[in-house]
Amino acid sequence: MIDLDQKKQTLTISVLLGIVVIAIIVAAALLMPDLARIGSDIFGEGLGLKDAATTSFFLSVGLLVLFALVAGEGLLGEVQFLLASYVGMFVINWLLIAWIF
């Protein structure tokens, strides 16, 4: 059974949660012009495929060197897998960077 103390706690939590929700709604309404300006900046012209390919190349090389060093014997024994994964990682990074930025 729920006693009086638990009812008070439940009521207090409900009131505080309602205040927080109302505060978030008011803050979102007041920030609407700034959010619209940020949205227009985000969807502006970004990186092209050439710039994304350059960024992706250096990102992929850096990550694969890091993976090879951390793997221990990755520099000698795993080269065939590293090369195959490099191509896949390069293409995925290239397209994602071009799409996102």
pLDDT in tens, 75-99: 556 667 777 778 888 888 888 888 7
Q: How confident is the model at residue 5 (pLDDT cuts 50, 70, 90)?
A: confident
* Residue 101 per-residue DSSP state: -
pLDDT in tens, 35-59: 677 666 655 676 677 778 878 888 8
8: region left, alpha or beta (phi > 0 left; psi from -120 to 50 alpha)? alpha
CA distance 67 to 90: 15
pTM of the model: 0.44
Closest of 41, 39, 51 to residue 98, by C-alpha: 51
Q: Is the pLDDT of residue 22 over 80?
A: yes
pLDDT > 70: percent of the chain: 79
